[in-house]
Amino acid sequence: MKHLLKGIAVGLAALAVSTGAAMAEPLKVGFLYLGTPGDHGWTYAHELARQKVEAHFGDKVETTFVENVPEGPDAARVTRELANTGHDIIFGTSFGFMDPMLKVSKDFPEVKFEHITGYKRSANMATGNIRFYEGRYVQGIVAGMMTKTNKIGYIAPFPIPEAYQGLNAFAIGMREANPDAEIMVIWANTWEDPVKEADAAKVLVAQGADVMAQHTDTPAMLQIAEKAGLHGFGQASDMKKFAPNAQLFSSVNDWSHYYIEKIQQVMDGTWSTGEGPDHWAGNTWKGMADDYLVLSAFENMPADVKAAAEKAAAKIEGGYNIFTGPIKDNKGNVVVKAGEALNDGTLWSDIFFYAEGIQGEMPG
Amino acid sequence: MLEDLILTVLMTSVPLVYAATGELIVERSGVLNLGVEGMMLMGAVSAFGIAMVSGSLVLGVIAGGLAGMLTAALFGILVLGFATNQVATGLALTIFGAGLSGLLGAPLIGHAIEGLPVLRIPFLSELPTVGKLVFSHDLMAYGAVILVAAVAYFLKRTRAGLVLRAIGDNHDSAHALGYSVLGVRFMAVLFGGLMAGFGGAYLPLMLTPHWAEGMTAGRGWIALALVVFASWMPWRVLVGALIFGGITIMQLAGQARGWTIPSQFLSMLPYLATIVVLVLISRNREFSLANSPACLGRAFHAGK
């Protein structure tokens, strides 16, 4: 059903794209959105960044965005349509656009493609991402200090590398602050289902959690925390409005720096996908130090917790690698040896473990 | 702790009870409306919008119901007035409702409201366990049980209920007896919309007090399955909704307790349970067809 709906949206959007006025002068920038800015999370953050791009470049750019692009063959059609209508650089803002964009990129060697959160590249397709896990390390420290029951609830999306990076970074931070705290994880197997997220939060509260974190997109969990007089962290955008007394802080995605940097490179003729053995060389994967990830104000916490959070944030901005050994999994096995650390490449391959402090068994 | 879990199960079942009971009446009249999801979304967005603007949750609930009913009226006009294909029109209604609710809801994004208050009954609410489980709900939760009882009584004990069932089972005979087939069906469709609207309203007013696009996330389809699951009997809808809610919450609680079952499998459980029950019911043909409206989904032409 959703696919049918999206198909119609794509058809209409493609029509709009093809009839759009084509001015020769400004650089044409295209965006593929997975959803609509109405999610108040992932796509919303991309839309805010697109608006900042327009504000920054003024009439030097002309932006086009297509909402509700389904992951799969339809994404290839939309990408091709954008490339055909003279767009100079195209940003695909969801993991599932990777293969379709890769395919299309080979047919349009003069167009630049930027794919977000994926790992495949071509001569004219680069990769961009945010180090979301950095914010979760700070969340872990705050959660460890705030909890009275030593039970932390964590609502995870799908068991993919990005989710494990976040969960493990959270656990490492939490255990640094409080060696007795434990994390109860619920994999929601969705990015956005407010009712399910609320149900998961209620279940976590019923099992004794007094601080909750989420990797899913809606403010549902925070609203439950607010009602129960507990605490939690927001995701992707600042969710303070939904939980003025419960939100400790939100990790906010700011894609505008990445967009502006890349568009400027195209204008200057310096754009490249880079080379090198390191998976991320030449591509973009930045975090708190570059304001790609921004932590909202630390609130509803005592001064010593706030100080610890600020210290941890400063440490990360100074270049500290959270995944520095020794790191043990929750069965006591050493997964990262002392003196070693996971690098950007292994963060995508060697991340499949439950760090100390996470209860239960990994899914699948 | 267990009490809290059970309370969560009850709450998560409420919207399903409303939407499924409404659809039950629609189907009993012989009309198949697959647009429950769309009507719920229209109900949800209107309920939240009105509640936010007016500050009144009661007005929100009413607005949600009316929006669902209005959406259903569109379906009724097409299906009954123009005798369009019910399956196709119902599917279109879901797409329409999802799209329009997204459009209407755009300015509501990023706002929150206070949810429905729990109704405190002096003395009864203070009882241990029972007080929490039975006497500490919001008005809409009590309303759901009253609704099921009323619909059961209506179908079984009233003359109007008998007429409705007759029209669903054999519209030609009912027509020959002088009953207005299209009139009764239209009323049933409106009732179904009203209930789907109430069910939708419960999501942003009570379960998670904000609006998110597509927030029903398939619950309208579950409601449709529940009607068949219940073999068109009102009290079984209530039982089915509780089973569904129970499994949903159990899989979440199981994960939080570290059960070593893949979470993907646990997420699938509620749907799997629905299919299993459908298979079990369908094995016994007499049983499954006993209450199944014979004219379900068939257009009525008075001339023939």
Per-residue pLDDT tens over the stretch B91-111: 999 999 999 999 999 888 888
Q: Residue A83: how many CA atoms within 13 Å on its side-chain side?
A: 25
Q: Which of A212-216, A300-304, B54-58 has the lowest mean pLDDT?
A: B54-58
More confident residue, A40 or A209: A209
Q: Which residues in B lie closer than 8 A to residue A38 (C-beta atoms)?
A: 102, 105-106, 109, 212-213
Query: In the structure, what pLDDT confidence band is assigned to residue A135 with cuts at 50, 70 and 90?
Result: very high
Hey, are the CB atoms on B208 and A220 less than 8 Å from each other?
Answer: yes
A64-to-A55, A99, A279, B82 alpha-carbon distances in Å: 14, 21, 30, 40
Classified as helix, coil or strand, B112 is: strand
Rounded distance, CA B260 to CA A351, Å?
A: 20
A178 shares a domain with A114? no
A307 shares a domain with A198? yes
A143 shares a domain with A84? no
Q: What is the mean pLDDT of the segment spanning A170-199?
A: 93
Rounded distance, CA B193 to CA B63, Å?
A: 12
Tokens 């054999």 belong to residue: B170
Rounded distance, CA B18 to CA B195, Å?
A: 5
A139 shares a domain with A97? no
Rounded distance, CA A218 to CA A223, Å?
A: 10
Query: In the structure, what pLDDT confidence band is assigned to residue B255 with cuts at 50, 70 and 90?
Result: confident
| CATH assignment at residue A302 | 3.40.50.2300
Question: What pLDDT was estimated at residue A343?
Answer: 87
More confident residue, A319 or A276: A319
What is the spatial order of strands in the sheet that A61-66 belongs to? Answer: A61-66, A27-32, A89-92, A112-116, A125-130, A284-286
Question: What pLDDT was estimated at residue A22?
Answer: 44
Q: Which residues in A lie closer than 8 A to residue B112 (C-beta atoms)?
A: 219, 223, 241-242
Tokens 């009724």 belong to residue: B76
A275 shares a domain with A211? no
> Is A184 in contact with A154 (CB distance < 8 Å)?
yes
Mean pLDDT of chain A: 88
Q: Which residues in A lie closer than 8 A to residue B132 (C-beta atoms)?
A: none
Q: Report the gap between the CA of B73 and the closest CA in chain A (Å).
A: 22
Q: What is the mean pLDDT of the segment spanning A217-229?
A: 92
Q: Which of A231-245, B40-54, B143-157 has the lowest mean pLDDT?
A: A231-245
Rounded distance, CA A364 to CA B182, Å?
A: 53
A20 pLDDT more than 50: no
Residue B295: inside a domain? no
Residue A364: inside a domain? no
Query: In the structure, what pLDDT confidence band is assigned to residue B29 with cuts at 50, 70 and 90?
Result: very high
pLDDT > 90: percent of chain A: 69
Peptide bond into A179 cis (omega under 30): no
Domain range for B84 is: 2-290
- Cβ partners under 8 Å of residue B22, min gap 6: B36, B191, B192, B193, B194, B195, B196, B198, B199
Q: Which tokens is A238 given?
A: 């600042």
Classified as helix, coil or strand, B210 is: strand
pLDDT > 70: percent of chain A: 90
Residue B207: inside a domain? yes
> Is B33 in contact with B75 (CB distance < 8 Å)?
yes
Residue B76: inside a domain? yes
Hey, are the CB atoms on B217 and A193 less than 8 Å from each other?
Answer: yes
Rounded distance, CA A102 to CA B252, Å?
A: 37
Domain count, chain B: 1
Residue A80: inside a domain? yes
A338 shares a domain with A234? yes
Domain count, chain A: 2
Q: What angle do CA A81, A85, A86 make, to 5 degrees?
A: 130
Residue A357: inside a domain? no
Query: In the structure, what pLDDT confidence band is assigned to residue B221 with cuts at 50, 70 and 90?
Result: very high
Could you write out the three-class secondary structure of chain A? CHHHHHHHHHHHHHHHHHHCCCCCCCEEEEEECCCCHHHCCHHHHHHHHHHHHHHHHHHHEEEEEECCCCCCHHHHHHHHHHHHCCCCEEEECCHHHHHHHHHHHHHCCCCEEEEECCCCCECCEEEEEECHHHHHHHHHHHHHHHCCCCEEEEEECCCCHHHHHHHHHHHHHHHHHCCCCEEEEEECCCCCCHHHHHHHHHHHHHCCCCEEEECCCCCHHHHHHHHHCCEEEEEECCCHHHCCCCEEEEEEECCHHHHHHHHHHHHHCCCCCCCCCCCCCCCEEECHHHCCEEECCCCCCCHHHHHHHHHHHHHHHCCCCCCECCEEECCCCEEECCCCECCCCHHHCCCCCCECCECCCCCC
Q: What angle do CA A298, A259, A349 make, to 5 degrees?
A: 75
**What letter would DSSP give residue B116?**
P
A100 pLDDT more than 90: yes
Question: What pLDDT was estimated at residue B128?
Answer: 73
Q: Report the gap between the CA of B153 and the closest CA in chain A (Å).
A: 31
Question: What pLDDT was estimated at residue A2?
Answer: 45
A340 shares a domain with A268? no
Classified as helix, coil or strand, B128 is: coil
Identify the burial level of A86 via C-beta atoms within 10 angstroms of its C-beta, where 0-12 means exposed, 13-18 middle and 19 or more buried: middle
A275-to-A122, A283, B131 alpha-carbon distances in Å: 11, 9, 67
A177 shares a domain with A97? no
A146 shares a domain with A14? no
A314 shares a domain with A237? yes
Cβ of A184 under 8 Å from any chain B Cβ? yes
Q: Which tokens is B221 given?
A: 């389809």
Query: In the structure, what pLDDT confidence band is assigned to residue B152 with cuts at 50, 70 and 90?
Result: very high
| CATH assignment at residue B70 | 1.10.3470
Burial state string for A260-291 with b = 16 or more CB within 10 A and e = fewer than 16: bebbeebeeeebebeeeeebbeebbbbbbeee
List the one residue out of A91, A85, A78 whose CA is nearest residue A30. Answer: A91
Domain range for A264 is: 2-130+255-289
- Cβ partners under 8 Å of residue B203, min gap 6: A194, A195, B15, B40, B44, B215, B216, B219
More confident residue, B204 or A362: B204
Tokens 């750019």 belong to residue: A61
Task: Considering only the beta carbons, identify the residue of A4, A224, A363 that sits closest to B264.
Answer: A363
Query: In the structure, what pLDDT confidence band is assigned to residue A56 with cuts at 50, 70 and 90?
Result: very high
Hey, are the CB atoms on A195 and B259 less than 8 Å from each other?
Answer: no
Chain A's closest residue to B2, CA to CA, is: A206
Residue B209: inside a domain? yes
Q: Which of A277-281, B147-151, B194-198 has the lowest mean pLDDT?
A: A277-281
Q: Which residues in A lie closer than 8 A to residue B253 (C-beta atoms)?
A: 203, 206-207
Rounded distance, CA A297 to CA A287, Å?
A: 17
A326-to-A167, A258, A355 alpha-carbon distances in Å: 17, 33, 11
Residue B304: inside a domain? no
What is the spatial order of strands in the sheet that A231-236 belongs to? Answer: A182-187, A151-156, A211-214, A231-236, A247-253, A293-295
Cβ of A363 under 8 Å from any chain B Cβ? yes
Residue A358: inside a domain? no
> What's the pLDDT tens digit per position in A298-349?
999 999 999 999 999 999 999 999 999 899 999 999 999 999 999 888 888 8
> What's the pLDDT tens digit per position in A2-15?
454 454 555 455 44
Q: Which residues in B lie closer than 8 A to residue A203 (C-beta atoms)?
A: 5, 8, 249, 252-253, 256
**What letter would DSSP give residue B178?**
T
Q: What is the mean pLDDT of the segment spanning B239-247?
A: 89
Question: What pLDDT was estimated at residue A18?
Answer: 46
Rounded distance, CA B227 to CA A45, Å?
A: 40
Q: Which tokens is A206 given?
A: 């019923």
Q: Report the gap between the CA of B37 and the closest CA in chain A (Å).
A: 10
Cβ of A22 under 8 Å from any chain B Cβ? no
Provide the ipTM.
Answer: 0.86
Hey, are the CB atoms on B253 and A364 less than 8 Å from each other?
Answer: no
Cα-Cα-Cα-Cα torsion A73, A79, A80, A83, nearest 10 degrees, comes to -170
Rounded distance, CA A32 to CA A43, Å?
A: 10
Query: In the structure, what pLDDT confidence band is assigned to residue A31 with cuts at 50, 70 and 90?
Result: very high
The torsion angles phi and psi of B164, rounded to 5 degrees, stand at -60, -45
Hey, are the CB atoms on B12 and A195 less than 8 Å from each other?
Answer: yes
A160 shares a domain with A40? no
A positions 97-156 inside 8 Å of B (CB): 153
A143 shares a domain with A179? yes
